[in-house]
Amino acid sequence: MSSEWPLWEVFVRSRRGLSHVHSGSLHAPDAELALRNARDLYTRRQEGVSIWVVRADDITASSPDEKDPFFETASDKPYRHPTFYELPDELAHM
Amino acid sequence: MIPLATYALRLGDDALVLTQRLSEWSSRAPELEEDVALTNIGLDLLGQARVLLSYAGELEGEGRTEDDLAYLRDEREFTNVQLVEQPNGDFGVTIARQLLFSVYQLLVYGDLRASSDPTLAAVAGKAVKEVAYHVDHAEQWTRRLGDGTEESHDRMQAGIDAMWPFVAELFESDDLVAELAAAGVAVDPASVQAEWDRRVDAVLADATLTRPTPTWRARGGRSGVHSEHMGFLLAEMQHLHRSHPGATW
């Protein structure tokens, strides 16, 4: 039976104003029950105010094999980081 | 016991005994996710039972704690309806029992929020949100199994058929409840039956299930008369506490 239930990825928003963050995955026969299972598995200690569930099959993920062409090429381009600005002293909380 | 204590104990016993049944699914549910769902529901009910039993003991005024009431009473002193003590059976039977009982409990707690007794009103106010989820869980599964495959339909119908003789007892009133209800303290279960019928019938229709017409009906749970399954349930529930009195974690 287990093998027949598809895998779902669960994203939980912990507070208003924050983004949904990946919490884990679960098995469920359909979206409605996936949402309910997610509620039971990932929000039972008041972790969330909103849940998204997505069929794992529907997620297109980058492959570990593509790590270098995808991400490595950014490592020698420090000018893409906003680190060259002089911050005025009176600017707080940066 | 004063009438209010007896009433609190009835509500508490319903919740406690169903908790015990649901906990039997722990590690045995058809799916890991469902295992957590059923035991979560059991934990909600346990929370309700603890408050209600403690309150009953407090009202009684003889120093009995929630543990004394849960572990040291015998079968004839338990006042739960017989529906909640029925064995889990297969998943269809469990879901049928959950559907029939949770809808009943939702309606009773819903009206009990207006109780003139502040403790009962507070318990109901908290519990009604929990039970709304229990109803949703049972309705979701009833629809899926009833309107699923031929086998799931047959099993769900068999579950509904097996549990239906225990429905009439839910709505039975007696002098004690009638007096407390007239005083605005308790909910007369008969007053929620029409709404229960409407709600359960709608789910059964959606699920392509047939409302059974049972040839017999259970009675007597409120006065301590139980089915043959109750003794075994209590033996398991009370064994540890009675073998090791006062044991704690």
Which CATH number is A58's domain given? Answer: 3.10.20.520
Compare CB distances from A40 to B30, B37, B144 and report the shortest one's residue: B37
Q: What is the mean pLDDT of residues B193-200?
A: 98
**Residue B114 domain flag:** yes
Q: Which domain holds residue A46?
A: 2-80
- Token pair 């309150």 is found at B55
* Residue at A92 is within a domain: no
Answer yes or no: is pLDDT of B12 > 50. yes
CB pair distance less than 8 Å for A40 and B144: no
User: Which pLDDT score, from 0 to 100, does residue B59 have?
Assistant: 97
- Closest alpha carbon within chain A to B41: A40
The reply to whether B111 falls in a domain is yes
pLDDT at position A2: 47
pLDDT of B112 above 50: yes
Residue B249 lies inside a defined structural domain of this protein? no
In a domain, A69, yes or no: yes
Instruction: Give residue-wise pLDDT tens across range B125-146.
Output: 999 999 999 999 999 999 999 9
Residue B24: which domain range? 3-211+223-243
Average pLDDT over residues B92-117: 98
Does ipTM exceed 0.90? no
H-helix or E-strand containing B54? helix B32-60
Residue B216, domain member (yes or no): no
Tens digit of each residue's pLDDT (9 = 90 or more) over A52-70: 999 999 999 988 888 888 8
**In whole angstroms, what is the distance from residue A53 CA to residue A38 CA?**
8
Taking an 8 Å cut-off on Cβ atoms, the answer to whether A37 and B36 are in contact is yes
Interface test mutation site (partner B, options A3, A33, A51, max chain B beta carbons within 10 A) = A33
**Structural domain includes residue B248:** no
Q: Hey, are the CB atoms on B31 and A41 less than 8 Å from each other? A: no
Q: What is the pLDDT of residues B77-87, one digit of tens each?
A: 999 999 999 99
Of A33, A40, A41, the CB nearest to B140: A33
Q: Contact, B230 vs B75, CB < 8 A?
A: yes
Q: Quote the number of domains for chain B.
A: 1
From the list A1, A32, A36, the residue facing B31 with the nearest CB is: A1
Q: Are B168 and B219 in contact (CB under 8 A)?
A: yes
Query: How many domains are there within chain A?
Result: 1
State the CB neighbour count (10 A cutoff) for residue B222.
Answer: 23
**Residue A6 is assigned to a structural domain of this protein:** yes
Q: Is residue A7 part of a domain?
A: yes
Q: What is the mean pLDDT of residues B84-108?
A: 98
**Residue A88 maps to a domain:** no
Within-domain flag for A90: no
Radius of gyration of chain A (CA): 20
Residue A25 domain-assigned? yes
Q: Is residue B218 part of a domain?
A: no
Say if A27 falls within a structural domain.
Answer: yes
A52 at interface of B, judged by CB pairs closer than 8 A: no
- Whether B150 and chain A come into contact, CB under 8 Å, resolves to no
Residue A94's pLDDT band (boundaries 50, 70, 90)? low
Provide the pLDDT for residue B57. Answer: 98
**Over residues B16-45, mean pLDDT:** 96
CATH number at residue B168: 1.20.1260.10
